[in-house]
Structure 1
Amino acid sequence: MKMEMERQIGIPNRNPAVFVFLLLLVSCQLCSVVSWKKEEFRNCNQTPFCKRARGRKPSSSSFAAHDVSISDGDLTARLVPSDKTLEDQDQIQIKQLILTLSVYQDGILRLRIDEDPKLDPPKKRFEVPDVVMPEFLSKKLWLQRLSTETIGGDASPSSIVYLLDGYEAVLRHDPFEVYVRKKGGNRVVSMNSHGLFDFELLRVKKDGEDWEERFKGHTDTRPFGPQSISFDVSFYDADHVYGIPERATSFALKPTRGPGVEESEPYRLFNLDVFEYIHDSPFGLYGSIPLMISHGKSRGTSGFFWLNAAEMQIDVLGTGWDAESGISLPTSQSRIDTHWMSEAGIVDAFFFVGPGPKDVVRQYTSVTGTPAMPQLFAVAYHQCRWNYRDEEDVEQVDSKFDEHDIPYDVLWLDIEHTDGKRYFTWDRMLFPHPEEMQRKLAAKGRHLVTIVDPHIKRDDSYFLHKEATEKQYYVRDATGKDYDGWCWSGSSSYLDMLRPEIRSWWAEKFSFENYVGSTPSLYIWNDMNEPSVFNGPEVTMPRDALHVEGVEHRELHNAYGYYFHMATADGLVKRGDGRDRPFVLSRAVFAGSQRHGAVWTGDNSADWDHLRVSVPMVLTLGLTGISFSGADVGGFFGNPEPELLVRWYQLGAYYPFFRAHAHHDTKRREPWLFGEKNTERIREAIHTRYMLLPYFYTLFREANTTGVPVIRPLWMEFPSEEATFSNDEAFMIGSSLLVQGIYTEHARHASVYLPGKELWYDTKTGVAYKGGKTYKLDVNEESIPAFQRAGTIIPRKDRFRRSSTQMVNDPYTLVIALNSSQAAEGELYVDDGRSFGFQEGAYIHRRFVFSDGKLTSVNMAPAAPGQNQFSSECVIERIILQGLSTGQKSALIEPANQKAEIELGPLLLHSKKGPTAITIRKPNVRIADDWVIKLF
């Protein structure tokens, strides 16, 4: 035990007393991250900037806009305190800020507020790089003129600029406020309508000033003093607000302050390693995306995004919170008020006008990027555990999946596969032949994922540490030395991923020459990249640690994992000469993470509440751009009872990212270990995912082109139905499938709301239900309720193989659910499942339309250059029609002028029960061709 600890943390066994002390230290730190301990983390009252901002009253800090003009196509102004009690003009000069308003295509307003560089601040405030897309910047609309208007009872005018047809951006001069309104009418989103704006300027310490902050034995030096920013944001005609992940709580954000509200902590955005987190808490977890979206029946959807990587705290304010302020807003519109507080950075905020839910997501992802298109295998099922012990264990698990006829695509290895927690290495006792192990998996179309974390073991014999030290690539502590923290590898340092040259250097480490033992079928898992530091304040890096050009860690903390994720994904692209798409799973999340791979919801627990909360967590990530996400199926901590595990597989089969994972202290829980009946149920759930892979892959392409997530809240598809606004137990897969989870033990009934006016068809039985009603349905342990929306067509593959890669040439089934007009439509997207060729037009994209008794296949792909053509010989072997009101008995395929078999029977194969459906068998039309099938 002692030698193993020495080996893992790199302590020379020379001084027993020192060793015992360090052993106790490590043990203490490891214990501190074993489970949620509230006292390990700061609350708002222990966070000075949050406490100060929360203590401000409306209009307690008032600014006015001066010298408003158009410059370089932007509206610019100086913000000066308008507090009449300030007699010292020098103080007014010191507080001066520069405001810039920019307008972009598609109705996006950008607001930037920073210190005036002419006043010579002690350093430049941090602006988050490499998040805003270069293409977005090219969409700027150059303002040519400025109009003014005195609004309501204001004593001073407001400046108004064009934003989008029907929408205007307004800068109110005194008191300063920015808002978007419908032209000449109602507001949509406003900033600082309550006068809570405050901006603490960087300063040079004077004699006698004490800026240090202390928490649990840690001291933050704060060399430039308090530098926080806060302001209020209001969403008008909104019924609920959503977003600002990541936390385990309801999808619709609950008020944290106000009359009749039990005051709670603000929603915290500060990336942290939180083991065994609790559900139903506003506490921030591993990711931070400062995007909030509002939705209401009367107006629609709007959004607000603050590009800021420092710690952020956000209050959702209950109605009447400002009743005693004396403020009279110039509008009688209903609204939801929020209060945004950040420790550092600048104001770099974006207003999105919508007006629909998909419009806001599209507008946001035009700024930060649309989700990456994953490889096909990554969309299938993943099997993970901390840790599969050795090569023999890997081989046995792999063979058991085949023995039990359960498909899977990816096997994962956690930290124990390495040589003493040194990443890019293998424990050659346990994994002596990693290349051969990977080749055996690849022969079945399967892949391997290994973990690579950001903490670099401080061992002079470790090539990675030696090179990083020589190149001075590490983050430094406040004294200028390489920062030394503790994590799984013991004494560790962390690369300064803010620097592009270090990201490029890191990317090179994934080449097959540098990562010895890796092959083209190996992909990567970035864990602990918040960054996690066991002996750091709040289990992370000190805020006064230093990055390139003196940037303090406090300024970029929430983006650290994002840059690490980015560099790793780039490495996988480079190792294949830019041909193949990467797959990298990240735990830490920031705005733009969707461009680099998948994320998961972290260290959940094997209980029903965590199963339940996984849905709003994944929905929220999708709403904020992170479409490829999921929760650990079965729960990371604890031992799920068989019923819970089965229910989790049944739900997880519909997560965009579908992976089972477990802590090394849990009992083994591979699908065949819970009895034959439960194995059968889990197999059926996994088969459901593989059957729907064509539909999921098509949705991932939609997300890649539009930003619209794969799984969606019901109100994204039914935006005017109030019954959907707070429903986060059910969700949509694309626009065609509705899934209702089962979240209680021994459930025999489920309450399911089916929105809309059309029918919904049970995917298992074919029974049709009319929309707009709540149904109490009988359920059993075999499946969870899932329904296909009338008017849709879903592509499937019904033959089961060992892996998705072995299904590539299999034929398709189209499931058509007709609406009241006897019509339906759907899409199918296919490419090589691996390369970037789709970016050059090498793909098949078909739209299927059923109308007037005929099914038509229409090409949606633009013509591609000859060398980039993608072809497929795959055919459609079965077409299932539900809801057909007439009795057609024959089918004619054109232009081939051939007849196809048609029969009337149950929806389910091998079943004699249930509603009947028309099945066209073996039409054998190619998915790549234009064709029409007529029923008569």
Structure 2
Amino acid sequence: MAFLRLCVFLILFCLVAKGVAISAISAGYKVYSASQSGSAVQAVLEAISPSSKFGPDIPFLELHAGYVTPQIFHVHITDKSQPRWEVPQMLLPRNHIHSLLDSSEIEFSYTKHPFGFSISRSRRGEVLFNSSQPSSTMDSLVFKDQYIQISTSLPNYSSIYGFGESTRPAGFKLVPGNKYTLWAEDVGSVNPNINLYGSLPFYMDVRKDGDAHGVLLLNSNGMDVLYEHELLTYKVIGGVLDFYFFTGTSPLSVMEQLTWLTGRPAPMPYWSLGFHQCRYGYANITDVENVAATYKAKDIPLDVMWSDIDYMDSYKDFTFDPVNYPANHVKAFVEKLHAEGQKYVIIIDPGIKYEEGYSTYHHGIEKDIFIKDAHGNNYLGQVWPGPVHFPDFLHPNVDSFWTKEISDFHKIVPFDGLWIDMNEASNFCTGISCTLPMGSTCPNLEEQTTCCLICNNKNMTQWDDPPYKINSSNVERPLGNKTIAVSATHFGGILEYDAHNLYGFSEAISTNRALKHTLGKRPFVLSRSTFVGSGAYTAHWSGDNGATWNDLAYSIVSILNSGLVGIPMVGADICGFSGDTWEELCNRWIQLGAFYPFSRDHSEKNSRRQELYLWDSVTESAKKVLGLRYRLLPFLYTLAYDAHKTGAPMARPLFFHFNQDPLIYAIDSQFLLGKSILVSPVLTPNTTAISAYFPAGTWYNLFDYSQVINGDIGTYHRLAAPMDTINVHLHEGSILPLQDAALTSSAARKTPFTLIITFGLRKGNENAGYAQGHVFLDDGEDVTMDLKSGNATFIKFQANRNDGLYVVNSIVEEGSFALKKGWQLQRVIILGSTSLPRKLFINGEEAPSTVHLSKSSDVSIEINKLNLLIGQPFTLKCETSNTKA
């Protein structure tokens, strides 16, 4: 009996202990009062049973819920008694929200005790987000000053993507059982499963029927997101719950809705779609000149030469090394680049050296635009030049400061774009406040990245040591590790604790504005650190990857993740940044990297050189794949235009367009450019054949049109992939605009156009006889991509196949610009024809004898020497041996 009593006691003790554990954070909230006007709901929430774990509960919360547009629903929860930190309107304007708007797209409902809410599709009741405790595994809403927690249940068939930025060996699709930490940190992307440079609190949920929706938590504070089977939990260390729900239902419509709110992707200069070459470690300007000259001598396309921090005088922004990079020599080099149709991009870091006599430092002091430490002094950190202050890009005076420095520097050397690096912000020291050591050199040039300042790491504030520790770098360590102390302040008393994840975003905004003012042209900015909305101002690359096969494969996931949050102009360092690359890896990497939206070779000074001309096999591959890239420039530029207008990523996962195929949701070793070009790279060593997945339809190899994949259902195909080959295929139903290859984009733009038209070869396919495409044309540098300005032309192409008769039409908007340029359509290639061509009619009249009509392979017809002005509408009709009278 005594033993039985002991067992009962232990069971009861465990149950009570479990209950205490569950309620230790919070028992949640109940609805104290609520009102509704149309579809808009307002409510006051009251803490049910306040607790002290992670700090006291905020007693009363205020909820606002309503439509932003008929497809976007907004739920905002904050402290009722006083304002809390939110992403500033100055960075991400949201004044267009109209919560009283009514719609039938979304249904918002809530439970009263404990409070929880759900978002559903009104028409069929599908639940998209549900925090209403449907199971015992789900905690109630927790809302404390430095800890907010909310969960949503998920169906077990959801495919979840998002919550960047990190390098993910598990792939693009999120894997249950993982924790995703959002805290911008200078950690090389060579490190897997660790939070990296950006914070992107957005996810897309694709259900088994192919419908997609998106969820954005617009919160810049550090957070962990736990993804368990059928449960997603946010653990946020500040701010508010500011949710936006995007109903989709296609992935592209989710992107359109997201970027409508956060800002459409920035228009990109045409030249930025060419190939770029960079290295950290070019010893002098002569070295850079020789690299550019060798690319030309080897007939490898090159549009842009870059300079890393090597060009600076002692690594100070807005200076040139007078010995290795004298300004007059650099200027002469840049002028030569410009004369040959090429461009020059340089790096700048945010840290401004603390040095008497350095003009940029004095200008910053005069305008008082530096971040302050906890004592009100200019916060002192250390980066490449040594002791630095960090500009406060939330300060009202920072734009005039930053613009003047960039504009004045451009007068010395006319660079074409800016690369903003180290902007998490990176800091080689960790400390609440730091001072310079007396009587010693700082830094020691042999230990450049070792902290040489005297830093105070004692007496941490509640911000430096918050009650809940996010899983930054998979360890519990101070939030201010190797960055600006989070107790430091921006203008108006804004804590770095709150604004940290916005630093790179805010710098990109200022840099974009400064370049626009300086150049009077479309700016090109490349930023390492990003936030949701960054794509409206900057391109991005995946950071310091490694020269490994794994990093080659990870790069696809990285570009897909950036595109998913409205940053379509993205790439990875080709051939790897850190470590020594080698011939086979570099060969396979340029084959893949030639089809990144942003294509750049970049390496570090301690690794071997890796310019594409250093190995014969890499040279030949580069000429082949970059030759195709440069032919594709009109198509890539049109994708950039589409991204700017609709938010559509340039590089896309296969499920964006073939989402009825259940096998496709986890594929991330291949990707699409637009909706029609499928890139299937080699990602492993000693490989001369690959297994690639092809969705249903007819796919034509863009290097050899006679190689065709054809199927009624999606399936894997075995493809040859010798060392000089990457498989790139074009789907049926496409009209692809091309120009000729050249060594620069400016030279390629002067060549005639070709249209490739693809029809399906599957019997009984009703859609196999129709194809379409479009192209956007402007000068490539105008500040906006605006048809109404008269400085652009948009052309839509349509084609039909019916009883052996092929008809191709163009519909032209604002054709005067293209006519002024004199661009001609010279060639049309029709893929999907097994019959012989007989007659061609142009605009109703039989084509002159100078036009050449031929059967170039078993499946293609080729029309040459058309000499049609592309700025004028046209109709082509091609009769074949199968044409019915």
TM-score (norm 1): 0.81
Q: Distance in 1 between matches of 2:683 and 2:299?
A: 27
Q: 2:633 aligns with which of 693, 712, 731?
A: 693
CA distance in 1, matches of 2:659, 2:90: 33
Q: Distance in 1 between matches of 2:99 and 2:222?
A: 32
The amino acid that maps onto 2:412 is G
- Post-superposition offset of 1:402: 1.2
Cα separation, partners in 2 of 1:924 and 1:902, compared to 1, 3 Å: same
> 1:243 corresponds to which letter in structure 2?
G
Confirm or deny: 8 A CA contact 1:844 1:871 kept in the other structure.
no
Q: Which residue of 2 aligns with 1:196?
A: 139
Contact 2:37–2:100 (8 Å) recurs in 1: no
Kept in 2: contact 1:294–1:301 (CA 8 A):
yes
Alpha-carbon distance between aligned partners in 2 of 1:341 and 1:301, rounded to the nearest angstrom: 24
Equivalent pair of 1:253/1:316 in contact (CA under 8 Å): no
Counterparts in 2 of 1:438 and 1:231: CA distance versus 1, 3 Å: same
Q: How big is the shift at 1:393? A: 1.4
Query: Is 2:594 aligned against 1:645?
Result: no
Are 2:159 and 1:240 aligned?
A: yes
1:524-673 to 2 correspondence within 5 Å? Answer: 524-536=418-430, 537-576=480-519, 579-673=520-614
* Whole-Å separation in 2 of the counterparts to 1:78 and 1:585: 44
- Counterparts of 2:736 and 2:21, CA distance in 1: 54
Partners of 1:199 and 1:555 in 2: CA distance? 19
CA 1:854/1:843 → structure 2, altered by over 3 Å: closer, same or farther?
farther
Q: Deviations over 1:211-237 (max 9, x none)?
A: xxxxxxxxxxxxxxxx12111123447
Q: Check whether the contact 1:848–1:855 (CA below 8 A) recurs between aligned residues.
A: no
Correspondence list, 1:484-495, <5 A: 484-495=380-391
Assess, with a 3 A threshold, how the Cα gap between structure 1 residues 896 and 583 changes in structure 2: closer, same or farther: farther
Residues in 2 aligned to 1:349 and 1:239: alpha-carbon distance in whole angstroms: 19
CA distance in 1, matches of 2:21, 2:756: 58
Q: Is the 8 A contact 1:419 1:426 kept in 2?
A: yes
Q: Which residue of 2 aligns with 1:177?
A: 116
CA distance in 2, matches of 1:818, 1:616: 31
Q: Determine the C-alpha separation between the residues in 1 that align with 2:742 and 2:847.
A: 31
Report the Cα distance in structure 2 between the residues aligned to 1:695 and 1:456, rounded to whole angstroms. 41
| 1:518 aligned to which of 408, 413, 420 | 413
**Among 259, 262, 268, which residue is 2:181 paired with?**
268
Is the CA contact (8 Å cut-off) linking 1:507 and 1:572 kept in structure 2?
yes
Find the aligned partners of 1:846 and 1:131 in 2 and give their Cα distance. Answer: 35
1:756-771 map, 5 Å: 756=696, 758-766=697-705, 767-771=707-711
CA distance in 1, matches of 2:130, 2:297: 60
Unaligned stretches of 5+ residues in structure 2: 1-17, 431-479, 762-767, 880-885
- Please identify, of 763-772 and 373-382, the stretch whose mean Cα deviation from structure 2 is larger: 763-772
Deviation string for 1:872-927 (max 9, x for gaps)?
311111111111143222211115653363444546xxxxxxx4521100111121
Q: 1:340 aligns with which of 217, 224, 234?
A: 234
What's the secondary structure of 2:30's corresponding residue? Answer: strand
User: Is 1:395 matched up with 2:347?
Assistant: no
Quick check: 1:140 aligned with 2:89? no
C-alpha deviation, 1:73, in angstroms: 8.4
- Is the CA contact 1:792–1:824 (under 8 Å) kept in the aligned structure 2? yes
Question: What's the secondary structure of 1:359's corresponding residue?
Answer: helix
* Secondary structure in structure 1 of the residue aligned to 2:234: strand
- Cα deviations by residue, 1:475-514 (Å, 9 ceiling, x for unpaired): 1111211111111111111011112331342123221x35
Relative to structure 1, the CA distance from residue 876 to residue 55 in structure 2 (aligned partners, 3 Å threshold; closer, same or farther) is farther
Could you tell me which of 828, 836, 846 is aligned with 2:795? 846
Q: 1:612 deviation in Å?
A: 0.4
1:471 matched to 2:367: yes
Counterparts of residues 347-362 of structure 1 (less than 5 Å): 347-362=241-256
> SS state of the match for residue 889, structure 1?
strand
Aligned to 1:832: 779
Residues in 2 aligned to 1:186 and 1:355: alpha-carbon distance in whole angstroms: 14
1:881 partnered with 2:833: no
CA distance in 2, matches of 1:836, 1:58: 55
Alpha-carbon spacing, 1:531–1:173, altered in 2? closer, same or farther (3 Å): same
- Seen in structure 2, the aligned counterparts of structure 1 residues 392 and 469 have a Cα distance that, compared at 3 Å, is same
Question: 2 CA distance for matches of 1:105 and 1:855?
Answer: 40
Asked if 1:681 corresponds to 2:626, the answer is no
The SS at the match of 1:500 is coil
Check whether the contact 2:104–2:122 (CA below 8 A) recurs between aligned residues: no
Q: Report matched runs for 1:51-450 at 5 Å.
A: 61-70=27-36, 74-83=40-49, 95-117=59-81, 121=82, 124-133=84-93, 137-138=95-96, 140=98, 142-143=100-101, 162-165=102-105, 167-183=106-122, 185-194=124-133, 196-202=139-145, 227-236=146-155, 238-249=157-168, 250-257=170-177, 266-275=179-188, 277-279=190-192, 281=193, 283-298=194-209, 300-318=211-229, 336-432=230-326, 433=328, 434-450=330-346
Q: Which residue of 2 aligns with 1:206?
A: none
- Tell me the distance in 2 between the aligned counterparts of 1:168 and 1:891: 56
Distance 1:471 1:837 in 2: 31
Tell me the CA shift for residue 128 of structure 1: 3.4
**Deviation of 1:516 (Å):** 4.4
Report the RMSD for the aligned CA atoms in angstroms: 2.5
Secondary structure of the residue aligned to 1:354 is: coil
Distance 1:817 1:749 in 2: 25
* d(CA) in 2 for partners of 1:303, 1:315: 17
Paired residue secondary structure (1:177): strand
**1:31-46 paired onto structure 2 within 5 Å:** none
Is it true that 1:898 corresponds to 2:811 in the alignment? no
Following superposition, the deviation at residue 727 of structure 1 comes to 0.4
Q: 1:172 to 1:897 in 2, by over 3 A?
A: farther
TM-score by length of 2: 0.85
**Deviation (angstroms), 1:825:** 1.2
- Distance in 2 between the 1:609 and 1:68 partners? 53
CA distance in 1: counterparts of 2:509 and 2:87, whole angstroms:
18
The corresponding residue for 2:433 is none
Secondary structure in structure 1 of the residue aligned to 2:165: coil
Residue 779 of structure 1 aligns with which residue?
Answer: 721
The residue identity in structure 2 corresponding to 1:311 is G
The one of 856, 874, 878 aligned to 1:931:
874
CA distance in 2, matches of 1:344, 1:468: 30
Report the counterpart of residue 453 of structure 1 in structure 2.
Answer: 349
- Which amino acid is the alignment partner of residue 832 of structure 1? D
Q: d(CA) in 2 for partners of 1:598 and 1:882?
A: 35
1:3 is matched with none
The one-letter amino acid of 2:34's match is V
Deviations 1:6-52 (A, max 9, x none): xxxxxxxxxxxxxxxxxxxxxxxxxxxxxxxxxxxxxxxxxxxxxx9
Cα 1:870–1:813 shift into 2, 3 Å: closer
Amino acid paired to 2:336? K
- What residue number does 1:10 align with? none
Partner of 1:310, secondary structure, is: coil
- The corresponding residue for 1:261 is none
- Residue 251 of structure 1, CA deviation: 3.9
Q: 2:784, 2:824 → 1: CA distance?
A: 22
Following the alignment from structure 1 to structure 2, what is the Cα–Cα distance between the partners of residues 188 and 895? 55
Letter matched to residue 539 of structure 1: K
1:795 aligns with 2:795: no
> Quick one: distance in 2 between partners of 1:252 and 1:699?
22
**Distance in 1 between residues matched to 2:363 and 2:543, nearest whole Å:** 31
8 A contact 1:357–1:716 mirrored in 2: yes
Q: Mind listing any 5+ residue stretches in structure 1 that lack a counterpart?
A: 1-51, 144-161, 203-226, 258-263, 319-335, 908-914
User: SS state of the match for residue 620, structure 2?
Assistant: helix
Match of 1:28 in 2: none
Structure 1 match to 2:461: none
Distance across 2 between alignment mates of 1:517 and 1:201: 52
Aligned length: 787
Deviation string 1:283-325 (CA, Å, 9 cap, x unpaired) is 111111100111122261111101111111101112xxxxxxx
808, 811, 826: which one aligns with 1:856: 808
